[in-house]
Amino acid sequence: MIKSTGYKLSMAWVLIISLGAAALLGCQGQDENRRESSVQDSSATAKRPSGTSFSETRTHVHQELQIIRSHNDSLIEVTVKQGSIPDSMVLNLDYNYQRLHVKVLNVKGKDSLIANLHAPGNQRNLRFNQIQLPDGTLDGPFGRELHYRARLDGDYTLMLGKDNMADGILKGPVVIYLKLQ
């Protein structure tokens, strides 16, 4: 379980990063195939208001994400490597028809792949639809949480999208938490 304080601090960073990403994406052209590289290395200190007993908390983020938008922005593909998976990935779905693929490269010697997604807002319709295993086979559908045995070494792809059997909108911010154990 995530402690409440850590979760609140994490959500604050999610908001800051998503605003920065939205500004960055808003300034880019409408090419059919766009490549973006995001490298962040930042440190921040947060304190609670006076009157509460809380020690200083440091957050250090170092991540490298490759984000590719293709097929007229209908597919957003995020690529991360096993050794550089960030604590959270903040993305924004701009249209209700978009799909999101998170590729985890070079998974080796791990037992499980654990993923959660948080889609803030009312009536959001987003889930892990499928997972593609290194041998090319698919499994799914799943919900907003995924705990999958990573028995094979190689690349895993998490496919997120709309649940066609449910109502709601896809458009909006998405936070993905991903961990290999």
> Of 131, 136, 134, 127, nearest to 160 (Cα)?
127
pLDDT digits (tens, 9 = 90+) for 74-128: 999 999 998 889 989 999 999 999 999 999 999 999 999 999 999 998 899 999 9
Residue 17: predicted pLDDT: 52
Q: Is 17 helix (H, G, I), strand (E, B) or coil?
A: helix
Whether 2 shows a pLDDT value over 50: the answer reads no
Q: What is the amino acid identity at position 97?
A: Y
- Strand 145-149: give its sheet, edge to edge: 89-93, 172-180, 112-118, 145-149
116 vs 13, more confident: 116
Residue 154: predicted pLDDT: 96
* Residue 130 pLDDT class (50, 70, 90 cuts): very high
The token duo for 16 is 């800051």
> How much of the chain, in percent, has pLDDT values that exceed 70?
65
> Of 88, 19, 22, nearest to 59 (Cα)?
88
The token duo for 86 is 């960030």
CATH code for the domain defined by 4-180: 2.60.120.380
Q: Give me the DSSP letters along 55-123.
A: --EEEEEEEEEEEEEETTTTEEEEEEEGGG--S-EEEEE-STT-EEEEEEEEE-S-SEEEEEEE--STT
